[in-house]
Amino acid sequence: MFELLLCSMLTVFPDYLFRRYVQGKRIGREITLYTMWYELRWGITACLLLTVLLITTIFYFHPTTNNVTAIFRTVTILPETSGRVAEVYVTNNETVAAGAPLFRLDSSEQEAAKETAQRGIAEVDAASAVAKTELAGADGMIQQAQGALQQAIDELNTKQEIMRRNANVVAPREIERLQVVVDGRKGAVDAAVANKETLQARIAALLPAQRSSAEAALAQAQVELDKMIVRAGVAGTVHQFTLRPGDFVNSLLRPAGILVPTEAGRVALIAGFNQIEAQVMKPGMIAEATCIGKPFTIIPMVVTQVQDVIAAGQLRPTDQLIDVQQIAQPGTLTVFLEPIFAGALEGIPPGSSCIANAYTSNHAALESKDLGTLHRFFLHGVDAVGLVHAAILRIQAILLPVQVLVFSGH
Protein backbone atom coordinates (compact mmCIF):
# COMPACT_ATOMS: atom_id res chain seq x y z
CA MET A 1 0.00 0.00 0.00
CA PHE A 2 2.80 2.38 0.87
CA GLU A 3 4.53 1.66 -2.43
CA LEU A 4 1.25 2.16 -4.33
CA LEU A 5 0.67 5.57 -2.73
CA LEU A 6 4.23 6.62 -3.52
CA CYS A 7 4.01 5.50 -7.16
CA SER A 8 0.59 7.15 -7.59
CA MET A 9 2.13 10.49 -6.65
CA LEU A 10 4.53 10.08 -9.58
CA THR A 11 2.02 8.74 -12.14
CA VAL A 12 -1.71 9.16 -11.42
CA PHE A 13 -1.39 12.56 -9.77
CA PRO A 14 0.60 14.18 -12.64
CA ASP A 15 -1.86 12.62 -15.13
CA TYR A 16 -4.77 14.16 -13.22
CA LEU A 17 -3.06 17.56 -13.12
CA PHE A 18 -2.61 17.40 -16.89
CA ARG A 19 -6.29 16.54 -17.40
CA ARG A 20 -7.43 19.24 -14.99
CA TYR A 21 -5.31 22.25 -15.93
CA VAL A 22 -4.37 21.50 -19.53
CA GLN A 23 -7.53 19.82 -20.83
CA GLY A 24 -9.86 21.48 -18.34
CA LYS A 25 -11.51 18.27 -17.16
CA ARG A 26 -12.84 18.28 -13.62
CA ILE A 27 -13.75 15.59 -11.13
CA GLY A 28 -17.49 15.05 -10.98
CA ARG A 29 -18.08 16.29 -14.53
CA GLU A 30 -15.74 14.98 -17.21
CA ILE A 31 -13.88 12.71 -14.73
CA THR A 32 -16.38 10.46 -12.97
CA LEU A 33 -16.31 7.00 -11.47
CA TYR A 34 -17.29 5.58 -14.84
CA THR A 35 -14.82 7.57 -16.96
CA MET A 36 -11.88 7.52 -14.55
CA TRP A 37 -10.18 4.56 -16.22
CA TYR A 38 -10.45 6.10 -19.67
CA GLU A 39 -9.34 9.56 -18.58
CA LEU A 40 -6.50 8.44 -16.29
CA ARG A 41 -5.58 5.22 -18.09
CA TRP A 42 -1.97 6.25 -18.71
CA GLY A 43 -1.35 7.24 -15.12
CA ILE A 44 -3.09 4.18 -13.68
CA THR A 45 -1.21 1.79 -15.98
CA ALA A 46 2.11 3.45 -15.23
CA CYS A 47 1.30 3.39 -11.52
CA LEU A 48 0.65 -0.35 -11.53
CA LEU A 49 3.81 -1.11 -13.50
CA LEU A 50 5.94 1.19 -11.36
CA THR A 51 4.46 -0.26 -8.16
CA VAL A 52 5.26 -3.83 -9.22
CA LEU A 53 8.77 -2.76 -10.26
CA LEU A 54 9.32 -0.88 -7.00
CA ILE A 55 8.05 -3.71 -4.82
CA THR A 56 10.21 -6.22 -6.70
CA THR A 57 13.28 -4.01 -6.36
CA ILE A 58 12.68 -3.33 -2.68
CA PHE A 59 12.03 -6.92 -1.65
CA TYR A 60 14.91 -8.32 -3.73
CA PHE A 61 17.70 -5.90 -2.82
CA HIS A 62 16.39 -5.23 0.71
CA PRO A 63 15.06 -8.62 1.87
CA THR A 64 12.57 -8.95 4.68
CA THR A 65 11.32 -11.92 6.67
CA ASN A 66 8.96 -12.75 9.49
CA ASN A 67 10.85 -15.98 10.22
CA VAL A 68 13.20 -14.53 12.83
CA THR A 69 13.68 -16.06 16.25
CA ALA A 70 16.03 -15.56 19.16
CA ILE A 71 16.92 -19.25 19.12
CA PHE A 72 18.52 -20.56 22.28
CA ARG A 73 20.08 -23.89 23.21
CA THR A 74 19.25 -25.79 26.37
CA VAL A 75 21.47 -28.15 28.34
CA THR A 76 19.91 -31.36 29.57
CA ILE A 77 20.63 -32.09 33.22
CA LEU A 78 21.84 -35.68 33.27
CA PRO A 79 24.08 -37.62 35.64
CA GLU A 80 26.93 -39.69 34.21
CA THR A 81 25.47 -42.78 35.82
CA SER A 82 22.04 -43.94 36.87
CA GLY A 83 21.02 -43.87 40.49
CA ARG A 84 18.55 -42.83 43.16
CA VAL A 85 18.43 -39.21 44.29
CA ALA A 86 19.68 -38.67 47.84
CA GLU A 87 19.72 -34.84 48.10
CA VAL A 88 18.42 -31.94 46.00
CA TYR A 89 20.22 -28.59 46.31
CA VAL A 90 18.23 -26.30 43.95
CA THR A 91 14.62 -25.61 43.07
CA ASN A 92 12.82 -25.05 39.78
CA ASN A 93 13.48 -21.69 38.02
CA GLU A 94 16.50 -21.04 40.23
CA THR A 95 19.54 -19.29 38.75
CA VAL A 96 22.76 -21.18 39.33
CA ALA A 97 26.43 -20.48 38.67
CA ALA A 98 28.74 -22.69 36.66
CA GLY A 99 29.86 -25.64 38.78
CA ALA A 100 27.11 -25.24 41.37
CA PRO A 101 25.78 -28.58 42.74
CA LEU A 102 22.26 -29.45 41.61
CA PHE A 103 21.56 -32.79 43.26
CA ARG A 104 23.34 -35.85 44.67
CA LEU A 105 22.75 -39.50 43.97
CA ASP A 106 23.05 -42.27 46.55
CA SER A 107 26.81 -42.88 46.89
CA SER A 108 27.05 -45.71 49.44
CA GLU A 109 28.67 -48.07 46.93
CA GLN A 110 31.21 -45.46 45.82
CA GLU A 111 32.01 -44.54 49.43
CA ALA A 112 32.64 -48.22 50.19
CA ALA A 113 34.97 -48.46 47.18
CA LYS A 114 36.82 -45.37 48.40
CA GLU A 115 37.15 -46.84 51.90
CA THR A 116 38.50 -50.08 50.40
CA ALA A 117 41.10 -48.14 48.40
CA GLN A 118 42.15 -46.22 51.53
CA ARG A 119 42.50 -49.51 53.40
CA GLY A 120 44.67 -50.81 50.57
CA ILE A 121 47.03 -47.86 50.96
CA ALA A 122 47.19 -48.47 54.71
CA GLU A 123 48.03 -52.13 54.04
CA VAL A 124 50.88 -51.17 51.74
CA ASP A 125 52.23 -48.68 54.32
CA ALA A 126 52.09 -51.38 57.00
CA ALA A 127 53.83 -53.87 54.70
CA SER A 128 56.53 -51.27 54.04
CA ALA A 129 57.12 -50.80 57.78
CA VAL A 130 57.34 -54.59 58.29
CA ALA A 131 59.75 -54.92 55.35
CA LYS A 132 62.06 -52.29 56.87
CA THR A 133 62.06 -54.23 60.16
CA GLU A 134 62.78 -57.46 58.29
CA LEU A 135 65.62 -55.68 56.50
CA ALA A 136 67.27 -54.91 59.87
CA GLY A 137 66.83 -58.58 60.84
CA ALA A 138 68.39 -59.63 57.54
CA ASP A 139 71.54 -57.70 58.43
CA GLY A 140 71.71 -59.67 61.69
CA MET A 141 71.21 -62.95 59.86
CA ILE A 142 74.05 -62.08 57.49
CA GLN A 143 76.37 -61.32 60.38
CA GLN A 144 75.35 -64.54 62.13
CA ALA A 145 75.93 -66.58 58.96
CA GLN A 146 79.24 -64.89 58.33
CA GLY A 147 80.36 -65.62 61.96
CA ALA A 148 79.39 -69.27 61.64
CA LEU A 149 81.24 -69.47 58.33
CA GLN A 150 84.36 -67.92 59.84
CA GLN A 151 84.22 -70.35 62.76
CA ALA A 152 83.93 -73.30 60.41
CA ILE A 153 86.82 -72.00 58.29
CA ASP A 154 89.01 -71.52 61.38
CA GLU A 155 88.24 -75.02 62.61
CA LEU A 156 88.98 -76.47 59.17
CA ASN A 157 92.30 -74.63 58.96
CA THR A 158 93.29 -75.84 62.44
CA LYS A 159 92.54 -79.48 61.63
CA GLN A 160 94.39 -79.20 58.31
CA GLU A 161 97.48 -77.73 60.09
CA ILE A 162 97.44 -80.53 62.67
CA MET A 163 97.09 -83.12 59.94
CA ARG A 164 100.00 -81.56 58.06
CA ARG A 165 102.23 -81.89 61.11
CA ASN A 166 101.00 -85.32 62.17
CA ALA A 167 98.79 -87.24 59.77
CA ASN A 168 97.88 -89.83 62.37
CA VAL A 169 96.21 -87.37 64.75
CA VAL A 170 93.32 -86.18 62.47
CA ALA A 171 91.33 -88.55 60.34
CA PRO A 172 90.75 -87.59 56.65
CA ARG A 173 87.02 -88.09 57.21
CA GLU A 174 87.06 -85.27 59.76
CA ILE A 175 88.67 -82.93 57.23
CA GLU A 176 85.97 -83.78 54.67
CA ARG A 177 83.22 -83.17 57.22
CA LEU A 178 84.63 -79.77 58.10
CA GLN A 179 84.90 -78.87 54.41
CA VAL A 180 81.22 -79.74 53.95
CA VAL A 181 80.36 -77.56 56.97
CA VAL A 182 82.30 -74.64 55.46
CA ASP A 183 80.49 -75.03 52.14
CA GLY A 184 77.15 -75.13 53.91
CA ARG A 185 78.00 -72.04 55.92
CA LYS A 186 78.90 -70.24 52.69
CA GLY A 187 75.51 -71.16 51.26
CA ALA A 188 73.86 -69.78 54.40
CA VAL A 189 75.72 -66.49 53.93
CA ASP A 190 74.65 -66.30 50.29
CA ALA A 191 71.05 -67.05 51.27
CA ALA A 192 71.10 -64.31 53.92
CA VAL A 193 72.54 -61.80 51.42
CA ALA A 194 69.93 -62.80 48.82
CA ASN A 195 67.17 -62.39 51.41
CA LYS A 196 68.43 -58.87 52.16
CA GLU A 197 68.50 -57.97 48.45
CA THR A 198 64.95 -59.31 48.10
CA LEU A 199 63.78 -57.13 50.97
CA GLN A 200 65.57 -54.11 49.48
CA ALA A 201 63.93 -54.71 46.09
CA ARG A 202 60.57 -55.09 47.79
CA ILE A 203 61.01 -51.82 49.67
CA ALA A 204 62.44 -49.94 46.70
CA ALA A 205 60.21 -51.21 43.87
CA LEU A 206 57.39 -53.61 44.77
CA LEU A 207 55.81 -51.76 47.68
CA PRO A 208 55.93 -48.30 45.94
CA ALA A 209 54.29 -49.88 42.89
CA GLN A 210 51.61 -51.42 45.06
CA ARG A 211 51.08 -48.09 46.80
CA SER A 212 50.78 -46.31 43.43
CA SER A 213 48.17 -48.87 42.36
CA ALA A 214 46.29 -48.36 45.60
CA GLU A 215 46.45 -44.56 45.16
CA ALA A 216 45.16 -44.93 41.58
CA ALA A 217 42.29 -47.06 42.88
CA LEU A 218 41.57 -44.37 45.48
CA ALA A 219 41.61 -41.67 42.81
CA GLN A 220 39.25 -43.70 40.64
CA ALA A 221 36.95 -44.27 43.60
CA GLN A 222 37.01 -40.52 44.30
CA VAL A 223 36.12 -39.78 40.67
CA GLU A 224 33.19 -42.18 40.84
CA LEU A 225 32.14 -40.60 44.13
CA ASP A 226 32.34 -37.10 42.63
CA LYS A 227 30.07 -38.22 39.79
CA MET A 228 27.33 -38.73 42.32
CA ILE A 229 27.08 -34.94 42.71
CA VAL A 230 25.63 -33.48 39.49
CA ARG A 231 26.79 -29.91 38.88
CA ALA A 232 25.78 -27.18 36.45
CA GLY A 233 28.10 -27.12 33.45
CA VAL A 234 27.33 -23.47 32.67
CA ALA A 235 25.69 -20.57 34.45
CA GLY A 236 21.98 -20.41 33.78
CA THR A 237 18.46 -21.05 35.02
CA VAL A 238 17.07 -24.45 35.95
CA HIS A 239 13.74 -25.34 34.34
CA GLN A 240 11.41 -28.36 34.52
CA PHE A 241 13.36 -29.49 37.58
CA THR A 242 11.01 -31.48 39.81
CA LEU A 243 13.40 -33.96 41.42
CA ARG A 244 12.75 -35.15 44.95
CA PRO A 245 14.85 -37.42 47.20
CA GLY A 246 14.06 -41.00 46.31
CA ASP A 247 13.48 -40.40 42.59
CA PHE A 248 15.42 -42.62 40.21
CA VAL A 249 17.37 -40.87 37.45
CA ASN A 250 18.47 -42.70 34.33
CA SER A 251 21.25 -41.19 32.23
CA LEU A 252 19.56 -42.32 28.99
CA LEU A 253 15.82 -42.37 29.52
CA ARG A 254 14.97 -40.05 32.39
CA PRO A 255 16.73 -36.67 32.57
CA ALA A 256 16.49 -34.55 35.70
CA GLY A 257 15.61 -31.24 34.03
CA ILE A 258 16.79 -28.54 31.64
CA LEU A 259 19.38 -25.80 32.16
CA VAL A 260 19.03 -22.66 30.05
CA PRO A 261 22.41 -20.85 29.79
CA THR A 262 22.47 -17.21 30.81
CA GLU A 263 23.63 -16.00 27.38
CA ALA A 264 21.30 -18.29 25.43
CA GLY A 265 19.28 -16.38 22.84
CA ARG A 266 20.85 -13.06 23.80
CA VAL A 267 23.77 -13.06 21.38
CA ALA A 268 22.18 -13.27 17.93
CA LEU A 269 18.93 -13.69 16.03
CA ILE A 270 18.45 -16.51 13.52
CA ALA A 271 16.50 -15.47 10.41
CA GLY A 272 15.13 -17.48 7.51
CA PHE A 273 15.09 -15.45 4.26
CA ASN A 274 13.62 -16.52 0.93
CA GLN A 275 15.87 -18.61 -1.31
CA ILE A 276 15.62 -16.08 -4.14
CA GLU A 277 17.65 -13.68 -2.01
CA ALA A 278 20.63 -16.05 -1.74
CA GLN A 279 22.68 -13.94 -4.17
CA VAL A 280 21.92 -10.74 -2.27
CA MET A 281 22.49 -11.85 1.33
CA LYS A 282 26.14 -11.32 2.25
CA PRO A 283 27.96 -11.12 5.59
CA GLY A 284 28.40 -7.52 6.63
CA MET A 285 24.99 -6.29 5.44
CA ILE A 286 23.24 -3.85 7.73
CA ALA A 287 19.92 -5.13 9.09
CA GLU A 288 17.17 -4.06 11.44
CA ALA A 289 14.74 -6.07 13.53
CA THR A 290 11.73 -5.55 15.74
CA CYS A 291 10.50 -8.24 18.13
CA ILE A 292 7.16 -9.04 19.73
CA GLY A 293 8.91 -9.38 23.07
CA LYS A 294 10.11 -5.77 22.87
CA PRO A 295 7.57 -3.70 20.89
CA PHE A 296 8.10 -0.17 19.53
CA THR A 297 11.85 -0.85 19.30
CA ILE A 298 14.05 -1.07 16.22
CA ILE A 299 17.26 -3.03 16.83
CA PRO A 300 20.23 -2.21 14.52
CA MET A 301 21.93 -5.42 13.48
CA VAL A 302 24.50 -6.79 11.06
CA VAL A 303 24.59 -10.02 9.09
CA THR A 304 27.48 -12.10 10.47
CA GLN A 305 26.92 -15.47 8.79
CA VAL A 306 24.95 -16.82 5.87
CA GLN A 307 24.49 -20.58 5.86
CA ASP A 308 25.63 -21.95 2.51
CA VAL A 309 23.07 -24.78 2.40
CA ILE A 310 19.28 -24.97 2.58
CA ALA A 311 18.23 -27.11 5.53
CA ALA A 312 15.10 -28.39 3.75
CA GLY A 313 17.21 -30.31 1.24
CA GLN A 314 19.16 -32.41 3.72
CA LEU A 315 19.07 -36.19 3.35
CA ARG A 316 19.62 -38.76 6.06
CA PRO A 317 20.26 -42.31 4.77
CA THR A 318 17.58 -44.80 5.79
CA ASP A 319 16.36 -48.21 4.67
CA GLN A 320 13.84 -46.57 2.30
CA LEU A 321 14.36 -44.68 -0.94
CA ILE A 322 13.47 -41.01 -0.67
CA ASP A 323 11.12 -39.47 -3.22
CA VAL A 324 12.22 -35.93 -4.09
CA GLN A 325 8.58 -34.84 -3.93
CA GLN A 326 8.71 -35.39 -0.18
CA ILE A 327 11.39 -32.73 0.23
CA ALA A 328 10.35 -30.45 -2.64
CA GLN A 329 8.90 -27.75 -0.36
CA PRO A 330 11.24 -24.75 -0.55
CA GLY A 331 13.21 -24.04 2.58
CA THR A 332 14.67 -20.78 3.78
CA LEU A 333 18.16 -19.32 3.74
CA THR A 334 19.47 -19.32 7.30
CA VAL A 335 21.12 -16.04 8.29
CA PHE A 336 22.71 -15.04 11.62
CA LEU A 337 22.09 -11.48 12.80
CA GLU A 338 24.04 -9.90 15.64
CA PRO A 339 23.32 -6.52 17.24
CA ILE A 340 25.63 -3.66 16.34
CA PHE A 341 25.51 -2.20 19.85
CA ALA A 342 26.22 -4.21 22.98
CA GLY A 343 23.17 -5.02 25.06
CA ALA A 344 20.71 -4.33 22.24
CA LEU A 345 19.00 -7.70 22.78
CA GLU A 346 18.53 -7.18 26.51
CA GLY A 347 14.90 -7.39 27.52
CA ILE A 348 14.01 -9.72 24.65
CA PRO A 349 13.05 -13.14 26.02
CA PRO A 350 14.91 -15.95 24.26
CA GLY A 351 12.65 -17.60 21.72
CA SER A 352 10.85 -14.36 20.79
CA SER A 353 9.53 -13.99 17.25
CA CYS A 354 10.78 -11.00 15.29
CA ILE A 355 10.62 -9.23 11.92
CA ALA A 356 13.86 -8.34 10.19
CA ASN A 357 15.01 -6.31 7.19
CA ALA A 358 18.40 -6.50 5.52
CA TYR A 359 19.64 -3.60 3.38
CA THR A 360 21.89 -3.78 0.35
CA SER A 361 24.55 -1.06 0.38
CA ASN A 362 26.29 0.00 -2.84
CA HIS A 363 28.40 2.68 -1.23
CA ALA A 364 31.67 0.92 -2.02
CA ALA A 365 30.61 0.19 -5.60
CA LEU A 366 29.60 3.82 -6.20
CA GLU A 367 33.12 4.97 -5.36
CA SER A 368 34.40 3.25 -8.50
CA LYS A 369 35.04 5.56 -11.46
CA ASP A 370 34.38 2.83 -14.02
CA LEU A 371 30.60 2.85 -13.56
CA GLY A 372 28.39 4.12 -16.33
CA THR A 373 25.76 6.77 -15.79
CA LEU A 374 22.80 4.40 -15.98
CA HIS A 375 24.50 1.85 -13.74
CA ARG A 376 25.37 4.53 -11.20
CA PHE A 377 21.79 5.83 -11.31
CA PHE A 378 20.45 2.32 -10.78
CA LEU A 379 22.69 1.73 -7.75
CA HIS A 380 21.64 5.07 -6.27
CA GLY A 381 18.03 4.08 -6.79
CA VAL A 382 18.53 0.70 -5.08
CA ASP A 383 20.05 2.40 -2.04
CA ALA A 384 17.31 5.04 -1.98
CA VAL A 385 14.36 2.64 -2.01
CA GLY A 386 15.80 1.03 1.12
CA LEU A 387 14.28 3.99 2.99
CA VAL A 388 10.85 2.75 1.94
CA HIS A 389 11.50 -0.62 3.49
CA ALA A 390 12.90 0.97 6.63
CA ALA A 391 9.76 3.08 6.93
CA ILE A 392 7.58 0.00 6.48
CA LEU A 393 9.47 -1.79 9.27
CA ARG A 394 8.85 1.12 11.62
CA ILE A 395 5.17 1.11 10.74
CA GLN A 396 5.12 -2.62 11.50
CA ALA A 397 6.83 -1.97 14.83
CA ILE A 398 4.06 0.48 15.73
CA LEU A 399 1.21 -1.73 14.53
CA LEU A 400 2.64 -5.01 15.87
CA PRO A 401 1.16 -4.72 19.40
CA VAL A 402 -2.22 -3.79 17.89
CA GLN A 403 -2.16 -6.78 15.54
CA VAL A 404 -1.18 -9.16 18.32
CA LEU A 405 -3.47 -7.85 21.05
CA VAL A 406 -6.53 -6.76 19.03
CA PHE A 407 -6.72 -8.50 15.69
CA SER A 408 -5.20 -11.87 16.59
CA GLY A 409 -8.20 -12.82 18.74
CA HIS A 410 -6.08 -13.83 21.76
- CATH number, residue 358: 2.40.30.170
Which of the 8 DSSP states describes residue 325? Answer: G
Q: Which residues have a Cβ under 8 Å from the Cβ of 334 and sit 6 or more positions away? A: 270, 271, 272, 306, 307, 311
Comparing 27 with 217, the larger pLDDT belongs to: 217
Q: How confident is the model at residue 355 (pLDDT cuts 50, 70, 90)?
A: very high
**Domain match, 240 and 338 both:** no
Considering the chain, what is the average pLDDT of its residues? 82
What is the predicted pLDDT for the residue at 401? 84
**Domain match, 121 and 44 both:** no
**Domain match, 208 and 96 both:** no
Amino acid of residue 39: E
Q: How confident is the model at residue 226 (pLDDT cuts 50, 70, 90)?
A: confident
Neighbours of 207 (CB within 10 A): 19
Comparing 400 with 13, the larger pLDDT belongs to: 400
**Domain match, 341 and 354 both:** yes
Amino acid of residue 164: R
- For 335, phi and psi rounded to 5 degrees? -130, 140
Q: How confident is the model at residue 194 (pLDDT cuts 50, 70, 90)?
A: confident
Q: Would the pLDDT of 320 be above 90?
A: no
Contact 106/83 with Cβ under 8 angstroms? yes
**Domain match, 327 and 269 both:** yes
Q: Which residues have a Cβ under 8 Å from the Cβ of 370 and sit 6 or more positions away? A: none
**Domain match, 29 and 135 both:** no
Domain that includes residue 115, residue range: 106-224
Q: Which residues have a Cβ under 8 Å from the Cβ of 361 and sit 6 or more positions away? A: 285, 286, 383
Q: How confident is the model at residue 305 (pLDDT cuts 50, 70, 90)?
A: very high
**Domain match, 13 and 116 both:** no
What is the predicted pLDDT for the residue at 167? 63
What is the predicted pLDDT for the residue at 278? 87
State pTM to two decimals: 0.68
Where do the DSSP E strands lie in 176-293?
229-231, 236-239, 248-249, 257-261, 269-273, 286-291
What is the predicted pLDDT for the residue at 170? 61
**Domain match, 247 and 291 both:** no
**Domain match, 180 and 303 both:** no
What is the predicted pLDDT for the residue at 169? 60
d(CA 384, CA 379): 9
Q: How confident is the model at residue 302 (pLDDT cuts 50, 70, 90)?
A: very high
What is the predicted pLDDT for the residue at 339? 92
Comparing 314 with 237, the larger pLDDT belongs to: 237
Q: What digits encode the pLDDT tens for the residues 230-246?
A: 888 888 899 888 888 88
What is the predicted pLDDT for the residue at 304? 92
Comparing 139 with 88, the larger pLDDT belongs to: 88
Residue 74, helix vs strand vs coil = coil
d(CA 239, CA 94): 8
Element counts in the chain: helices (H) and strands (E): 9, 14
Mean pLDDT, range 389-409, rounded to an integer: 83
Total structural domains within the chain = 4
What share of the chain has pLDDT > 70, as a percent?
Answer: 94
DSSP string, 111-143: HHHHHHHHHHHHHHHHHHHHHHHHHHHHHHHHH
Conformational region of residue 242, where left means phi above 0, alpha means psi within -120 to 50, and beta covers everything else: alpha
In this structure, is residue 178 part of a structural domain? yes
Using CB atoms within 10 Å of the CB of residue 335, give its burial: 0 to 12 exposed, 13 to 18 middle, 19+ buried. Answer: buried
Q: Would the pLDDT of 12 be above 90?
A: no
Q: Would the pLDDT of 303 be above 90?
A: yes
Closest CA to 304 of 259, 338, 334, 355: 338
Q: What digits encode the pLDDT tens for the residues 75-84?
A: 888 888 888 8
Q: What digits encode the pLDDT tens for the residues 242-299?
A: 888 888 888 777 788 888 888 777 888 999 998 888 888 999 999 999 988 888 899 9
**Domain match, 283 and 393 both:** yes
DSSP string, 266-320: SS-EEEEE-GGGTTT--TT-EEEEEETTEEEEEEEEEEEEE-SS-GGG-----SS
